Amino acid sequence: MSMSSAEKFAAEVLRQSANALAAMTTERMFQEQPGIAARYQPNPSLKWRENVSGRVHYLAAAVATGRPHVFLHQAKWDKVAHSARGGEAACADLMCSMRCLRSVIGEELPPAARPVVLECVDAAIATMASASTESHSLLNPSTPTGRLAAEYLLAILEGDRQRACMMMLDAVTKGRADLGMPPLSVVQAFSQVLSPVQQELGRMWHINESTVAEEHFATATTHTVMSAMYPHMPRAPRNGKAVLCAAVETNAHEVGVRMVADVLEMHGWRSVYLGQNVPIDDLVLAAEDFRVDLVALSATLLTHLPLMGETIRRMRAGNAGNSCGLKILVGGSAFTADPDQTVWQNLGADAYARNLDEAVAAAGRLCGV
């Protein structure tokens, strides 16, 4: 299903007017509920303008991709976050902001843009009203790798990079007899320990149980661990294919796509890893310069999806002379809230992978290896 002209227009209006809509919404909130400002000192207006502006950008992305239910998923998470930081009062403030945003949109957006946007906002308000504020750990300590993940997370939270790195190297090279665990493969270490811990830290930050500093330390430590594991990776003979792996522009989350780069290299690919937040023009040039057959791109947030679509369109245009046809594989948590798992098709990708095993299978299928 292609995006309609009304959806394109509405999404662009939202993006262009996000700050203005946020300012009007915040002013209306404080007028209707004067007590809100007192609860968010200092600079309550700035805090709420940034909060609402971010939500408008999420709304624009949902409209642009024709996936309003993804905005509903974000609305649920917003309620969980507000509850963790301020309880019922904060949840009530969030609902007030949504109602005020709806009123402002109804008054300020051009008539042609209103219906699709208001439908999405109304659904989000209804979803928030009944959504749970509970959030459960993503780690399962009843399994050997789950216990290892819990130990790794504890080392990170205690700021002990050396302990975290050594326990993971030992798990790969020696195993853990005390956990009844033989040596892990690098793929197991990635998918059953490092990735779940990164996701758990994101959840903990969201519910105010960890800080940005802890999350950054965890990411830096995980990159160190992956670098230390690199010499221990088994490698199949080269298959004659090359892959370019990167996080799309504005996406600062790169651990997952780095794992894809490493795992494909283990399967015989020449893997070119570019990291986070790669500008579109540079991605296009890199695909040409490194003569790749496949590009693997990641998007973490809903707001990255429109940029993903633009990146794919530009890469297709930039590699029009590739007679074999450049293949594009996408993944990342931005896609997981899509229940029918088809948004990647609308963005123009050739395949979507939910995990490392699927990424390897999809890459082989797309490029005939």
What is the Cα 361 distance to its own chain's centre?
22
* Enclosing H/E stretch for 276: strand 270-278
Residue 332 CB partners (closer than 8 Å, separation 6+): 247, 251, 253, 256, 257, 298, 299, 300, 304
d(CA 128, CA 94): 9
200-220 residue pLDDT tens: 999 999 999 999 999 999 999
The b/e string for 195-234 (b: 16+ C-beta within 10 A; e otherwise) is bbbbebbbbbbbbeebeeebbebbbebbeebbeebeeeee
Sign of CA pseudo-dihedral 161, 163, 169, 175: negative
Among all chains, which residue has been given the structure tokens 């500093």? 213
8 Å CB contact between 363 and 296: yes
Domains of the chain: 5-130 (1.10.490.10), 144-232 (1.10.1240.10), 242-367 (3.40.50.280)
d(CA 104, CA 302): 23
d(CA 256, CA 333): 10
CB atoms within 10 A of CB 287: 23
CB atoms within 10 A of CB 34: 9
pLDDT at 43: 95
8 Å CB contact between 287 and 261: no
pLDDT category, 2, cuts 50, 70, 90?
A: very low
pLDDT at 1: 37
253-300 residue pLDDT tens: 999 999 999 999 999 999 999 999 999 999 999 999 999 999 999 999
Average pLDDT over residues 309-325: 77
Judge whether residue 324 has pLDDT over 60.
Answer: no
Per DSSP, the three-state class of 248 is strand
d(CA 115, CA 119): 6
pLDDT at 186: 95
8 Å CB contact between 40 and 102: no
**pTM as predicted:** 0.91
Residue 185 CB partners (closer than 8 Å, separation 6+): 172, 234
